[in-house]
Amino acid sequence: MAIAPQESAVKTGRVTRFVLYTVLIVFALFYLLPLFIMVINSLKPLGEITGGNMMALPQVWTWEPWAKAWSSAQVGVEPTGLKPYFWNSIKMVVPAVVISTMAGALNGYVLTKWRFRGDTIIFGLMLFSCFIPFQIVLIPMARILGLLGLSGSTTGLVLVHVVYGIGFSTLYFRNYYAAFPSELVRAAQIDGAGFFQIFWRILLPSSGPIIVVCVIWQFTNIWNDFLFGASFASGDGAPMTVALNNLVQSSTGVKEYNVHFAGAIMAALPTLVVYIVAGRYFVRGLMAGSVKG
Amino acid sequence: MAQPQTAPDARTRLQTLIPKLVLSPSVAAMVVFVYGFILFTVYVSFTDSRILPFVDAKGARSYDLIGLSNYAKLFKLSHWEIAITNLAVFATLYILICCAIGLLLAIFLDQKIRGEGLLRPIYLYPMALSFIVTGTAWKWFLDPGIGLENTMHLWGWTSFSFDWIKNRDYALYCLVIAAVWQSSGFVMAMFLAGLRGIDNEILKAAQMDGASNWQLYRRIIIPQLRPAFLSAFVILSHLAIKSYDLVIALTGGGPGRATELPATFMYSYTFSRNQMGIGAASAVIMLMTVAAIIVPYLYAELREKR
């Protein structure tokens, strides 16, 4: 899905161009506004927010809200800060992304190069599972995690995210491998290469871009998940998003807005960094998830 | 693969079996965790279950089958009626405004804009953020005490009033603002991809015939974006139905029940109000709504490909 500029046939005059740029810049400011507010207010002492202007730059620059959000804010029972929850999220995201991506790659390979009767139906069922409202699985999932002894644990969340992540990763790899020349696969088969050899030697080496797309998509989705985290791991095993929400919604004591903002940036930073580094692939993933084919 | 060459028959048979073996764990997971769980939830919605687990210590069933009464009860609850009315208003505004902004930005960006490479990522970055993060940022920005209203007062516009987030009649629109902020850049990207896929020759020919820019867009370009509109509608509507995080972070469903949506309704009835049967029924309704939108779309997409 290339979005490269092309020679447009539409001609525009000078006044029109001025309007164009003004509108585009105003919208850019609108999109940047919340980020701007989060950043500047996370670097202010609390008094400057409650007694001052939210849009003003800090008069006294301080890292203290960041330090507090990270290591001493009251999130759960203990004043641990967000640090342990950040690591919970990392421990949840890394295995879940790796497993769901590998499974998706193999599934996509089978569904395009080893087709069998009914494969489209299986793919269709997988595809639908990407879009179900997850409320429909919360009750049985809570029960199963309880039976497996995984309630409240990071392992439980890994399981959940792998299971519901496979649909999308399969979609990515299937669409990508569908465009891969089947003649190469057939030729390798005639030469006596087996299932895994073909995958390993022929498809995988050219799968770089789609692996990046899939990893970024899964990473962003799983990191940002709130519903599963809140349902199955709301205590010490909670992921970052749940912890942030607990921090912001806690009704005890003074509302420390600057600490909330610092915490919000911490929760946003991993996906934001990925977006800045590999935004192109992120957009490709979004598009592949919507405009298939 | 490690199979000896001596038995070609066994080997070929294995080769045809391996792909299915590789696919089977995913299929099994899908059958159990997606479709099995859906059936389970449907079953729960036919019972008077209140909390998990459904068997007591002696292994006896702690619920009764009550048929469709949960659904009957559900649609008599004013709480549910509020949730679906809110969803209707929220989804309509969210989809319309996202499409309007997305289309506007895409068309504007498509005019050989200098700095497009800088603007596009700015429009799109909210999509990479968690709704809890954006909810937090918007919650305090829209808060009359410390946010926009306060800022305007300090800047000298003392009569300025913006307390929507605390106001029962307007809090839902705060949800729309934050959700539009999050998703409109994505819609822009979809439309932009559509615009860039249009054949320029047609446009040049139309121009030769004396068509103005306005006519060009109204008559030729926008009609050609139909697939992008359809995708945007499908994606945005299923996001709207699933909206949960944003409500929790921004308003918590309040003030009162002003921003309650089906997703928050389901969660509170299932896990905090001990009305699991009704919670399950509401989840089934949500699934059916999403299915009604997404199944025809997926069916059409998969058929085209054959």
Query: Which structural domain range is residue B225 located in?
Result: 29-305
pLDDT band at B209 (very low <50, low <70, confident <90, very high): confident
Say yes or no for a CB contact (<8 Å) between B128 and A23.
no
Q: Collect all residues of chain B within an 8 Å Cβ-Cβ radius of residue A7.
A: 200
Q: Using the predicted structure, report yes or no on whether residue B302 has a pLDDT greater than 50.
A: yes
**Per-residue pLDDT at A2:** 44
Q: Does residue A6 lie within any of the structural domains?
A: no
Q: Which two tokens stand for residue B164?
A: 């929507």
Q: Which residues contact B74 (CB under 8 A, 6 or more apart)?
A: B80, B278, B281, B282, B285
Mean pLDDT rounded to a whole number for chain A: 85
DSSP assignment string, A151-174: TTSHHHHHHHHHHHHHHHHHHHHH
Residue A289 to residue A283: CA distance in whole angstroms: 10
Query: Which structural domain range is residue A32 located in?
Result: 14-64
Domain count along chain A: 2
Same domain? A188 vs A127: yes
Q: What is the CATH number of the domain that holds A228?
A: 1.10.3720.10
Mean pLDDT to the nearest integer, B113-130? 88
Percentage of the residues of chain B whose pLDDT score is greater than 90: 27
Q: Does residue A246 lie within any of the structural domains?
A: yes
Q: Does residue B17 lie within any of the structural domains?
A: no
Same domain? A209 vs A255: yes
Same domain? A139 vs A211: yes
Q: Does residue B285 lie within any of the structural domains?
A: yes
Residue A111 to residue A120: CA distance in whole angstroms: 8
Q: Using the predicted structure, report yes or no on whether residue B1 has a pLDDT greater than 50.
A: no
Q: Does residue B183 lie within any of the structural domains?
A: yes
Q: How many CB pairs under 8 A join A and B?
A: 310
In angstroms, the separation between the Cα of residue B163 and the nearest Cα of chain A is 16
Same domain? A153 vs A58: no
Same domain? A36 vs A87: no
- CA dihedral B210→B215→B221→B227, nearest 10 degrees, is -150
Which of A95-109, A147-161, A225-239, B150-164 is predicted least confidently? B150-164
Domain count along chain B: 1
Mutate to test the interface with A, among B133, B138, B146, B188 (most CBs of A within 10 A): B133
Q: What is the CATH number of the domain that holds B96?
A: 1.10.3720.10
Determine contact, residues A261/B136, Cβ cutoff 8 Å. Answer: yes
Q: What share of chain B is helix, strand, coil (3-state, %, to 5)?
A: 75, 0, 25
Q: Does residue B10 lie within any of the structural domains?
A: no
Q: Does residue A36 lie within any of the structural domains?
A: yes
Residue of B nearest to A117 (CA): B20
Q: Using the predicted structure, report yes or no on whether residue B279 has a pLDDT greater than 60.
A: yes
Q: Which two tokens stand for residue B280?
A: 């399950």
Same domain? A238 vs A120: yes
Residue B289: which of B227, B248, B242, B229 has the closest Cα? B242
Same domain? A171 vs A269: yes
List the beta strands (DSSP E) in chain B. none
**Per-residue pLDDT at B110:** 86
Q: Which two tokens stand for residue A53?
A: 């202007």
Q: Using the predicted structure, report yes or no on whether residue B276 has a pLDDT greater than 50.
A: yes
**Per-residue pLDDT at A100:** 95
Which of A28, A53, A267 shows the shortest C-beta gap to B151?
Answer: A53
Q: Which residues contact A8 (CB under 8 A, 6 or more apart)?
A: B110, B111, B112, B200, B203
DSSP assignment string, A25-57: HHHHHHHHHHHHHHHHHHTS-HHHHHSS-TTSP
In angstroms, the separation between the Cα of residue A201 and the nearest Cα of chain B is 14
Q: Whole-model pTM?
A: 0.87
Cβ burial A102-138 (10 Å sphere, 16+ → b, else e): ebbbbbbbbbbbbeeeebeebbbbbbbbbbbbbbbbb
pLDDT in tens, A17-70: 888 899 999 999 999 999 999 999 888 888 888 777 888 888 888 888 888 888
Which of B25, B27, B138 shows the shortest C-beta gap to A122?
Answer: B27
Q: Does residue A3 lie within any of the structural domains?
A: no
Q: Name residues 69-98 of chain A within 8 A of B (Cβ).
A: none
In angstroms, the separation between the Cα of residue A91 and the nearest Cα of chain B is 18
**Per-residue pLDDT at B261:** 92
Q: Using the predicted structure, report yes or no on whether residue B269 has a pLDDT greater than 70.
A: yes
What number is the ipTM of this complex? 0.85
Q: Collect all residues of chain B within an 8 Å Cβ-Cβ radius of residue A27.
A: 101, 105, 123
Please tell me if residue A132 touches chain B, with a CB cutoff of 8 Å. yes
pLDDT band at A293 (very low <50, low <70, confident <90, very high): very low
Cβ burial B257-271 (10 Å sphere, 16+ → b, else e): bbbbbbbbbbbebbb
Say yes or no for a CB contact (<8 Å) between B133 and A268.
yes
